Amino acid sequence: MFDILLPESDDKPIYLHLYSQIRARIRDGTIPDGARLPSVRALRQQLNISKTPVETAFQMLTAEGYAVSRPRSGLYAANPLPLSDQSPDQSTHSERRQASASTDSAPASDRMIDFDPTKLDANAFPVRTWQKLLRDAVSDRAGEMGSYGDPRGEPGLRRAIAEYLGSSRGVRCDADRIVVGSGMAYSVGIAAKLLAGRSRVAMEAPGYNLVRDQLTLNGCAPLPIPVGDHGLDLDALEASDAEAVYVTPSHQFPTGSVMPYPARERLLRWAEARDAYVIEDDYDGEFRYVGKPIPSLQGLDAHGRVVYVGTFSKAFSPAVRLNYMVLPLELTERLSRLPREVLHAPSRVEQWAMQSFIEQGHWYRHIRRMRSLYRKRHGLLIELIRTHLGSRALITG
């Protein structure tokens, strides 16, 4: 039984009681460094409360370095200052660094907050469901294991993606216009071949360097265009001699700015007037924590100027290597004239499993779960920045 007391009634939220009591016990050693903390379920049953305050308290402890999560094992106490009981507010930064350097028992990597934007929370991956769907894919399709699949991707998966994109991202397409691939590098390579000589490709600066490098490798010349509070600077784009542009309009990478509706219209007008193409990277369109989801630029495009690219790397897993590209009709026709060797679809087994994952409703449930998990962390991060950095930090994007 974990020693926590919740007062009968007061104004302080339950999660704060949990957080401060557990933190105090870790700091004074009552909960020893490295001890396993109870599971969310055990603690909520013991205290007869819902799981949300327990999860929030555990997230705060983890974010502040008082607890460390070990995948598939649980949460462990980690006292950031085991020997000196000083509050972080009373010590200088260098004192704290020295204290932790000389007294840490856990590896430094356990005490870090990892801000790598390409990584997902591995604990949130639906291991059992995915294992089952992979097994089912092999047994249900055993008769197809002897042959190559469609180089544009399995038709069933393309249909499932088209339906998802139509209902959730406002993308207008059918399965015939989708090319399933193994990631952005692959999609950019194909898009570059379809641009038919449009080699000057504008790019957000700062932007996604992988795309810049892939464009160069594929014979295009990337043109850096500045980014402002509303995404790509359209004045600069219009003043350039770009023939195509790569953008992340729903959540600019890396600044996080969002391109407003009038700017989207203006970008599409530019593309139409210049006979240019827009490559829309909707890499994390699933994640929007406040307000309504922003529909895709592709859905606004009435003239077939947008190549839309999305991925399973952000909400599902970057390890599976599955993404998709939606082509305008004209480029779909051009694709059919490219040599077949240009296209290499990913593993059929993973594609079949993903098709079932979407068709059986797991994908929609999974996105809701991930959105809720990341929304809480996003809120917590903002709260901690405000609490600890106050007016010294400006939060944007």
**Least distance to ligand PLP, CB of residue 324, Å:** 9
Residue in the block written with tokens 């006292």: 79
Residue (of 294, 331, 17) closest to 169 by Cα position: 294
**Least distance to ligand PLP, CB of residue 309, Å:** 7
**Least distance to ligand PLP, CB of residue 99, Å:** 35
End-to-end Cα separation, the chain, in angstroms:
43
The residue among 69 and 252 lying less far from ligand PLP, judged by its C-beta, is 252
**Least distance to ligand PLP, CB of residue 42, Å:** 36
Q: Which of 323, 332, 351, 356 binds ligand PLP (CB under 6 A)?
A: 323
Q: With H, G, I as helix, E, B as strand and everything else as coil, classify residue 372.
A: helix
Binding of ligand PLP at residue 250 (CB under 6 A)? no
**Least distance to ligand PLP, CB of residue 168, Å:** 17
Residues 115 and 160: their CA atoms lie apart, in Å, by 32
Strands 323-326 and 178-181 turn out to be antiparallel
Residue in the block written with tokens 């599955």: 322
**Least distance to ligand PLP, CB of residue 182, Å:** 7
Q: Is the dihedral of CA 259, 261, 262, 265 positive or negative?
A: positive
**Least distance to ligand PLP, CB of residue 346, Å:** 11
Q: Which residue is nearest to ligand PLP (CB)?
A: 183
Residues 68 and 104: their CA atoms lie apart, in Å, by 13
Q: Which of 56, 100, 214, 248 binds ligand PLP (CB under 6 A)?
A: 248
Q: Which of 73, 94, 102, 118 binds ligand PLP (CB under 6 A)?
A: 118
CA–chain centroid gap for 57, Å, is 23
Draw the binding track, 286-315, toward ligand PLP (x: CB under 6 A; -: no contact): -------------------------x-x--
Q: Which of 164, 277, 283, 357 binds ligand PLP (CB under 6 A)?
A: 283
Residues 353 and 154: their CA atoms lie apart, in Å, by 11
The residue among 183 and 189 lying less far from ligand PLP, judged by its C-beta, is 183
Q: Which of 19, 58, 253, 324 binds ligand PLP (CB under 6 A)?
A: 253
The residue among 180 and 335 lying less far from ligand PLP, judged by its C-beta, is 180
Site for ligand PLP in 193-212 (CB under 6 A): 208
Residues 207 and 141: their CA atoms lie apart, in Å, by 41
Q: Which of 29, 34, 155, 183 binds ligand PLP (CB under 6 A)?
A: 183
The residue among 57 and 190 lying less far from ligand PLP, judged by its C-beta, is 190
**Least distance to ligand PLP, CB of residue 293, Å:** 18
Strands 277-281 and 244-247 turn out to be parallel
Angle between helices 40-47 and 51-63 (to 10 degrees): 130
Residue 313, phi-psi category: left (phi > 0), alpha (psi -120 to 50), beta (remainder): alpha
Count residues binding ligand PLP (CB under 6 A).
12
Residues 280 and 248: their CA atoms lie apart, in Å, by 6
Long-range CB contacts (< 8 A, 24+ apart) of 69-74? 69/123, 71/122, 71/123, 72/123, 74/36, 74/37, 74/39
**Least distance to ligand PLP, CB of residue 281, Å:** 5
Under the rule (CB under 6 A), what is the footprint of ligand PLP? 118, 183-184, 208, 248, 253, 281, 283, 311, 313, 318, 323
